[in-house]
Amino acid sequence: MPIATPAQYRAMLDAAQKGGYAYPAINVTSITTINGALRAFAESKSDGIIQVSTGGGKFASGTCVGNEAFGAIVLAEAAHRLAEKYDVLIALHTDHCHPNMVEPFLKPLLQASRERIAEGKGPLFQSHMFDGSVVSLEENLAISKGLLKECAELDIILEVEAGCVGGEEDGHDTSGLPADKLYTTPEDMVDVYEALSPIGRFLFAATFGNVHGAYKPGAVKLKPTILRDGQAAVVAKHGAAAEMDLVFHGGSGSDLDDIRETLGYGVVKMNIDTDTQYAFTRPIVTHLLQNIEGVLKIDGEVGDKKQYDPRSYLKKAEIGLANRLKIACDDLLSTGKTIYVKA
């Protein structure tokens, strides 16, 4: 199955909202990580979301090029081809794009989709994220409205954020913010709905204490009821049809009870990166330690080519990532719920 069409992506989100489950959205940086994600979704019989951050795109473009948008296009084109071999629906998404990256990152990706559509193909990505949490809500929504209009014209969904996700990711560090900045208010959620709903479909990353990165159990205090109260405020003013599609950022390391609670409040997408990074790297470390004399040419010896061939440990890394992502599918209740139907 090729990457989901815009209509199929909307159907995925509708099914998750109606069915009380959500999709893992995994950040990828290479063909190997894409393959691990596809393997996990296929084995779980779960549809899913593969996403690229600005840093991931820059890495994928190579150390000599270092271009975020170019690398993201390369990864997306690879995913379009690789996904053809699997019988689940996969949507492509871009992660946190701050205001300073709209022109060098988001705009070229929208142009790439525009060119594909002109050729009779679908958009390159099915959704993009604009993270305006670093500016005032007023400025955030002003920029979001313009981007959503452009996305809607291309049949692309825009994800927006109000409130800040804590921690550090791809060089963006919000770890020093006051605690109250980590929680979106019901008033914020109403403002977001009223500003964006007349323009087109959007996803909303409302924050409820989320933090990027690794942390010990109990170190992060999530308040999922913020999502409940915000949705209630929107529905009270605009009716049941106004319930928003919410996104859970910083899903790695989160308590299962918190994850499951958010599903009842409208979360349809949960980002996972830190945990899958570790699950990818851990088998590589094990391989190197267990085969150190073959991997290194010690004391003038020649080593063992089979052990230092990158394929020997990257295959293990791919499977490690896939196994962790399958747990995320179980946690989010998406396992076994693909809506893909063979033609």
Helix and strand element counts for the chain (H, E): 13, 10
Amino acid identity, position 121: K
Provide the residue ranges of all domains of the chain, joining segments of one domain with +. 6-331
- 59's enclosing H/E stretch is helix 54-60
Domain range 6-331, its CATH number among 3.20.20.70, 3.40.190.10, 3.40.50.12280, 3.40.50.300: 3.20.20.70
Which of the pair, 179 or 209, is modelled with greater confidence? 209
Contact 36, 65 (CB under 8 A): no
Percent of the chain with pLDDT over 90: 83
The reported pLDDT for the residue numbered 220 is 58
Q: Which residues contact 55 (CB under 8 A, 6 or more apart)?
A: 68, 169, 170, 171
Return d(Cα 252, Cα 259) in angstroms, integer.
10
Q: Which residues contact 248 (CB under 8 A, 6 or more apart)?
A: 22, 205, 210, 254, 259, 262, 267, 269, 270, 271
Return d(Cα 246, Cα 203) in angstroms, integer.
6
pLDDT higher than 80, residue 230: yes
pLDDT higher than 60, residue 256: yes
Written as six digits, the tokens of 233 are 């405020």
Residue of 14, 47, 87, 95 marked catalytic: 95
The reported pLDDT for the residue numbered 32 is 98
What does pTM read for this prediction?
0.93
Return d(Cα 279, Cα 184) in angstroms, integer.
31
Active site (annotated) includes residue 95: yes
Q: Which residues contact 300 (CB under 8 A, 6 or more apart)?
A: none
pLDDT higher than 70, residue 335: yes
The reported pLDDT for the residue numbered 168 is 52
280-322 pLDDT per residue, tens: 999 999 999 999 999 999 988 999 999 999 999 999 999 999 9
The reported pLDDT for the residue numbered 39 is 98
pLDDT higher than 70, residue 170: no
Burial tier of 265 (Cβ tally within 10 Å: 0-12, 13-18, 19+) = buried
The reported pLDDT for the residue numbered 217 is 52
